[in-house]
A and B are shown apart, each in its own frame.
Chain A
């Protein structure tokens, strides 16, 4: 049976395309080393538009208005510039209400783009530019440790990783947050304390990694001024041992948090990236696997949500669960040594 895979890897290679939303200019070059916040491409486009109805304003038909318009598509317009005028006993001059660029003219109307801003595309991950995609962006290759999460608040940051707890199940409280943590990325087990999240923002920290989060804190988590990545899920559960071990062994290293919201359709998910030196490029992560014995698996649902174990064997046919459901299942040997039966639907392969 096909298995979902989540990447928690001590050393891997990632190749990611970073693309502008519209055509623009690629500013990076091949082989350039980039940090996550480096700009690799940029595009200019207006955020807002104006639809100027010349015909209605001048009180004339659209064909007549069309002939009075003194602009062309693509032309840059300054605020106050004459855009159309009617000459006669009662002359009427129509001026541009703001700076902008003419997008389209037709039927006596002008569509203008205003509020032009420069969109800067950031690298998003540390690594090396390995390919340019003309007018659109770049491909970046990363080598290092990768930990994928299940929830992110949409922000990005990098800083030194510091664990503020001594065990993966330990709760983050406001007492953990002190000034020595300013500018770092915090690692903790679970958080159900809004004051702790806010205090971290007040320092400020550069990011936070949690095993789990109380869903009641999601509105606050979405408003934080730093990236937050949740590794395992919601409700009181410890961070899975594999992720916790990998993160704590990389404490005091610089890590990148890309707290991208999880999109199950596209596979985009929040990620923690720890660049590491390599002599030989490590393999790319495996995206497609089938369940098989000896795989490292994570349990996603009660009563052992977040626990990690080894898939001992796939059980034949259907197995009855304590809930009464009969499902495809496997025996899993947990880190604690306990061997339990788990539905395959509640497992994901770590790899």
Chain B
């Protein structure tokens, strides 16, 4: 039982602003409803508050409860049935923040600083390190020309190198000095702590906002990004304040806790990883217009990768710098000229809010989604801890569960399409549960978690998320058509369902939501289900019902599509049919 504290959480996305209400029902926190409205971060509004007000107004209509008073102020706390007790906000709208990364050694502090930059919505436009062969004035001129919104500086272990870091600081400081005051970047320093006083003295007068964090590389073999990620979130808000209106108002409503959506998602994934103590990792993926976000946590250790270049919005015109047309085309179940996909990418980049009206357009959109997410996971995988468990090098680590967000997945016309996008892009291995965040609640729960740790747990367990499927994905080196797995699903009434799965197949064993069963798996031909290749199998694994039931993905890892176009199209259609179209 909990005290009655309602929460209104707003997420300002690139296309849509959502307002979600959580409240206490019968002693437990529950998700009540959400309202939405188009985001107004871009022209002509350039002020997020308009979209936030309209999303909350939409929520008022849905719930019949009043949250906004005269003059559009938020009624807080609740009084006589109106208003809300707490407010949380997350933001992903806006262009990727132009960022310069400045640190010492390529494989040490520079790499850590780039990883820090990747943990939010940034685009690294300049990298300056000790091995940079350019003259100092060339580095200065480059910074002045590129005019970054944000500079991240690190380097030197605590009490270690200082002269080289001072040299880098001087370059940044001189570049800032040369920039007009209104164009000076925000600066985050997360290097040698013995220089902190000097950093404050020399850089504070030259920057729009200076934040000094603990050393992200306190020792040569130690990386600690968490404190600097927290400070980076604050600077993100500072930078956005200069780019769009309304940020101050929404930040004030939230008690100055407005945070990037991806950071909130990362926080909840890490939180779940700590709470559920899974031997596997927990994976969160969010494919939105602003970015593809990968949040993976292993025993409480979070890897957060935010890739604006792989988002499904304005950035699509640059997607072909990170992948090929052929790699997108391979997912489309009909013959289509490569130029049609190229046209799609550029047209969609102009109209990121537009939607596929025809089946053909939908197939292209979902193919692009698969490839963007696949590339994002590959990039994020480089930052996963080396010790994580996986069936073989190059394969996706073991995750349980996988939480997915982003309207291309959560608003797919059928749940089978949603699952197939995720299976194709992520290619999970072993046994996992795929969960859809249909109401975009993860950022809200992440933003709320620091103030109310009970709310996320109770909401997660309340059924606010959609259990999409329990997935069994064996890894085996076998020819197509070879039997690799025998599965038996025993229902509570004692009835069972048996299946022999052949390599290359995609099979479904129904187990509707609300039901449960026990799953008996007998691997054949050294198939690995996450227990090792010679494990006898799993006896009586309890499984809960999901929307699509138990899905056995024996299509192979990594997934190889037929080279012949006709066969490829046929097999993709067959997989779609297997999951209900």
Contacts and interface: CB of A to CB of B under 8 A. Distances in A.
Interface of A: 1-2, 4-5, 21-22, 47-51, 103-104, 111, 150-151, 214-216, 218, 233-236, 262, 264-268, 287-288, 300-303, 305, 321-327, 342-343, 345-346, 348
23 contacts: A104-B177, A111-B140, A214-B339, A215-B317, A215-B346, A216-B342, A233-B351, A235-B340, A264-B314, A264-B352, A265-B46, A265-B94, A265-B243, A265-B244, A300-B350, A301-B354, A302-B357, A321-B355, A321-B357, A323-B355, A325-B362, A325-B413, A346-B354
A51 B140 contact: yes
Contacts of A302: 356-358, 360-361
A196 to B, nearest CB: 17
Contacts of B41: 265
- Nearest 7 CB-CB pairs, A to B? A267-B43, A324-B413, A235-B343, A287-B44, A234-B346, A323-B362, A215-B346
Contacts of A47: 141
B359 A322 contact: yes
A40 B45 CA distance: 29
A234 B38 CA distance: 25
Contacts of B473: none
Contacts of A235: 339-340, 343-344, 346-347
B114 interface: no
B338 to A, nearest CB: 10
A107 B264 CA distance: 44
B178 interface: yes
Contact of A342 (B352, B357, B360): B357
Which interface residue of B180, B344, B347 has the most chain A CB atoms within 10 A? B347
B92 interface: no
B137 A49 contact: yes
Given A51-B137, A265-B94, A346-B354, A323 B361 contact: yes
Interface in B133-155: 135-137, 140-141, 144
B354 A345 contact: yes
Contacts of B122: none
Interface in B352-394: 352-362
B95 interface: yes
Contact of B141 (A49, A218, A234, A264): A49
A326 B410 CA distance: 12
Nearest to B41: A265
A2 B54 contact: yes
A332 B345 CA distance: 25
B467 to A, nearest CB: 22
A346 B357 contact: yes
Contact of B357 (A103, A265, A267, A323): A323
Contacts of A264: 42-43, 314, 352
A22 B45 CA distance: 26
Interface in B292-349: 314, 317, 339-340, 342-347
Interface residues of B, number: 50
A101 to B, nearest CB: 12
A322 B343 contact: no
B60 to A, nearest CB: 16
Contact of A22 (B180, B342, B362): B180
A327 B362 CA distance: 14
A301 B351 contact: yes
A211 to B, nearest CB: 13
Contacts of A348: 351
Interface in B397-439: 411, 413-414
A309 B106 CA distance: 56
Given A51-B137, A235-B347, A268-B43, 11 more contacts: A49-B144, A215-B345, A215-B346, A288-B45, A300-B350, A300-B354, A321-B355, A324-B362, A326-B413, A327-B355, A346-B357
Contacts of A234: 342-343, 346-347, 350
B346 to A, nearest CB: 4
A150 B95 CA distance: 18
Nearest to B145: A47
B38 A301 contact: no
A115 to B, nearest CB: 10
B213 interface: no
B97 to A, nearest CB: 12
Interface in B97-155: 135-137, 140-141, 144
B37 interface: yes
A50 B414 CA distance: 62
A323 B359 contact: yes
A338 to B, nearest CB: 15
Which interface residue of A215, A287, A343 has the most chain B CB atoms within 10 A? A215
B454 interface: no
A204 B244 CA distance: 41
Contacts of A49: 137, 140-141, 144, 174, 178
B199 to A, nearest CB: 16
A2 B347 CA distance: 21
A262 B314 CA distance: 11
A215 B349 CA distance: 12
Given A322-B358, A325-B413, A305 B347 contact: yes
B228 interface: no
B40 interface: yes
Contacts of A4: 353
Nearest to B361: A302
B347 A233 contact: yes
Contacts of B346: 215, 218, 233-235
Nearest to A347: B354
A67 to B, nearest CB: 20
Nearest to B581: A324
Contacts of A236: 343
Contacts of B137: 48-51
